[in-house]
Amino acid sequence: MIPNTFDYTAPSTLKDALDLIKEGGKPLAGGMSLIPMMKLRLASPEHVIDVGRIAELNYIREADGKLHIGANATHYDVQSSPLLQGKCPLLAETASHIGDIQVRNRGTLGGSVAHADPSADYPAALQALEAGIVVTSSSGTRTVAAADFFIDTFTTALEPGELITEVVVPIEAGLTGTSYQKFPQSASGFAVVGIAARMRRVGGRITLVRIGVTGVSGSSYRALKTEHALDGKAGSDAEIAAAAALVTDGVEASADLHASAVYRAHLASNYAARAIRAALSRSV
């Protein structure tokens, strides 16, 4: 289909973009989400603000003991970054699972996070990493924890006039292992279920466990009951299986043409166990 008519502006600076967004313009980054919605007329913005050309939002760097990724970094940038591969491998691994090479070359971290698709890959990793989402408006900047940022299907903590400008993730300490495992939709590659695990085992006991989940319900989440079940344990197969069975406890699993609620919960348990085992095997 053809979208409704709209005005288009491509500012070169963040300040100019924020001024236009404050006036009601809809930001466009890589266009992997907004353009299809516009073609289907599920979204009909009157003014599209192309932020993808703002160079100051495209970077991956280390500062203040953390890793900072600009919102305009593409999925391929994240996947292929030596800095992220070495110091935050979970995010790089997760990016490698997104779509196909064309999508990864065009889509951006900030655009994907802002879209908050319930089957997107990044939210699981950002939950497990306890990432900070930096959002900026013409009146200032604030940082929102990933756990508070993703609210519901296509719904985030972004306020009118705000734009995601950066994602901040930790530098992984030694002995921390991570893994992202997902069951993809066959056509789109979106996650029917996606599990991000971040584990550390010291002296034969698990001292850190963070489990991020996507695809299961209307929004990503931390599987706190699974985390609590593994904290301080040795990580035996039996302990992992018992903890993984709790990954959807208290969560209403979604049902759609890709999976029933029962099957989706079954997949979540199995893929949680896979991710935990893989992460523990890398925690050396």
| Domain topology for 57-170 | 3.30.465
Q: Residue 209's pLDDT is what?
A: 98
Would you state the CATH architecture of domain 7-50?
A: 2-Layer Sandwich (3.30)
Q: Which of 55, 62, 103 is nearest to 79 (CA)?
A: 103
Tell me the per-residue pLDDT of 7-65, one tens digit each, with 9 for 90 and over: 999 999 999 999 999 999 999 999 888 888 999 898 999 999 999 999 999 999 999 99
Residue 31 or residue 151, greater confidence: 151
Percent of the chain with pLDDT over 70: 100
Q: What is the mean pLDDT of residues 133-159?
A: 97
Reported pTM? 0.95
**Number of neighbours of residue 204 by Cβ within 10 angstroms:** 8
Does pLDDT of 112 surpass 80? yes
Q: Residue 174's pLDDT is what?
A: 86
Does pLDDT of 160 surpass 80? yes
Residues sharing a CB contact under 8 Å with residue 138, sequence separation 6 or more, in sequence order: 15, 18, 19, 21, 22, 161
**For the chain, what is the mean pLDDT?**
96
Asked if the 176-281 domain carries CATH number 3.30.365.10, the reply is no
Cα separation, 74 vs 63, in Å, equals 20
Q: What is the mean pLDDT of residues 125-129?
A: 98
Q: What is the mean pLDDT of residues 181-208?
A: 96
Q: Label residue 135 by pLDDT band (50, 70, 90).
A: very high
Q: Label residue 1 by pLDDT band (50, 70, 90).
A: confident
Does pLDDT of 256 surpass 80? yes
Q: Residue 90's pLDDT is what?
A: 98
**Number of neighbours of residue 262 by Cβ within 10 angstroms:** 10
Write down the domain spans for the chain: 7-50, 57-170, 176-281
**Number of neighbours of residue 225 by Cβ within 10 angstroms:** 17
